Homo-oligomer: A and B are copies of this chain.
Amino acid sequence: MTESLQVASGEAGIFEQFPGGVFPAACSSRVLLDHVMSKWGVLVLVSLTDGPQRWSELRRRAQGVSEKMLAQTLRTLEADGLVDRDQKPVMPPRVDYSLTPLGEELAEVMVPLLRWVGRNAEAVIGPSDPAGSSRSS
């Protein structure tokens, strides 16, 4: 039971990498983890899996994202070298976002996770009960 996961992941456990804890607090891993696992970061990255997309396209596909958060997310991912921004000097302006090679690499390990969530969400959470299991405080 305990070691099955480490075998399944193909190599030794993740804790050989970080013996003291999961990830040391306040290290670069935590920062990147927060960027990448952020609510909108995940959706943007996975959306771009489908190929280069424009701003308005991303807004539609990552349903519910505000302009502010989309801009902030894209700037963060771009600064991290995961997303490429291609602005065409035309009028009206046209900007295409796409995954960098590094971003594609990340997406390769992200997509299986998303697919798992998609498969198991209804069984775990329920058909349509967003309030049911998010009772905080």
Contacts and interface: CB of A to CB of B under 8 A. Distances in A.
Nearest to A111: B9
How many of these chains are in the complex? Answer: 2
Q: Contact size class for A? A: 35 or more
A112 B111 CA distance: 11
Contact of A121 (B8, B27, B62, B64): B27
Contacts of A99: 5
A102 interface: yes
Interface of A: 1-2, 4-6, 8-9, 11, 13-15, 17-18, 20-39, 42-43, 46-47, 49-52, 60-64, 72, 76, 79-82, 99, 102, 104-118, 120-122, 124-130, 133-134, 136-137
